[in-house]
Chain A
Amino acid sequence: AQSVTQPDIHITVSEGASLELRCNYSYGATPYLFWYVQSPGQGLQLLLKYFSGDTLVQGIKGFEAEFKRSQSSFNLRKPSVHWSDAAEYFCALNDYKLSFGAGTTVTVRA
């Protein structure tokens, strides 16, 4: 069965510092992977997706993610965090339905 694991429930990062959010997946074939962001009181917005090709994918808002098949991972990164990046981030895998990880809440301190 497909599953997505986000090991970190909460991460605090200083503004301007780099951010990395971890995501591990379990799936029998090549996965379709996504990162979504949810700001307080908002719906989910797609940051980026991976389904084939280049393992480093670029997304919106300066985010990127790297797919590593050998590690079953799809980690999200941002070189320099802005206060507006404070939100909850979800990794997801799409088979016939989109299955989400538990989410990682990011707090940005000044």
Chain B
Amino acid sequence: DSGVTQTPKHLITATGQRVTLRCSPRSGDLSVYWYQQSLDQGLQFLIQYYNGEERAKGNILERFSAQQFPDLHSELNLSSLELGDSALYFCASSPQGTGGNEKLFFGSGTQLSVL
């Protein structure tokens, strides 16, 4: 158990809908990362937050947004969903979010299916 909790584990929705994925980081970790894993794109970095502030942005679509709350949990909001958004979405956390040799701890992911 990594200590990172993601809910829900599975989500099935329809095109055009909006969903929210939730992540609770390990106790004491200030940084949260979101990754998308799909068969065609592999593991893609979406966005990173540190102590409530956005720190780095990757290949995140404009239809997607995220935030980190004062209690350090994070939410990833996906709107106007398309079939191609079906993927496994991972959250990870780390103590400082400084990169380098800092270890990331991953949750077990949310499997999103858009029908």
A and B assemble together: yes
The number of chain B residues touching the other chain, given as a range, is 20 to 34
- For residue A75, which residues in chain B have a CB less than 8 angstroms away from its CB? none
Task: Identify 27 residue pairs between A and B in the complex whose beta-carbon atoms are under 8 Å apart, listed by A's number.
Answer: A32-B99, A32-B100, A32-B101, A34-B103, A43-B2, A43-B107, A44-B106, A45-B2, A46-B103, A46-B104, A49-B103, A51-B100, A51-B101, A94-B99, A94-B100, A94-B102, A96-B55, A96-B99, A97-B45, A97-B48, A97-B56, A98-B45, A98-B92, A98-B104, A100-B42, A100-B43, A102-B42
The answer to whether A28 has its CB under 8 Å from any CB of chain B is no
A90–B48 contact, CB under 8 A? Answer: no
- For residue B90, which residues in chain A have a CB less than 8 angstroms away from its CB? 43-44
Q: Find residues 23-60 in chain A having any chain B CB closer than 8 Å to their own CB.
A: 32, 34, 36, 41-46, 49, 51
B112 to chain A, nearest CB (A): 15
A sample of 14 more A-B contacts (CB under 8 A), given A41-B108, A45-B2, A94-B102, is A32-B99, A36-B106, A43-B2, A43-B106, A43-B108, A44-B106, A51-B101, A94-B99, A95-B99, A96-B55, A98-B33, A99-B45, A100-B43, A102-B42
B96 to chain A, nearest CB (A): 12
The main secondary structure of chain B at its interface with chain A is loop
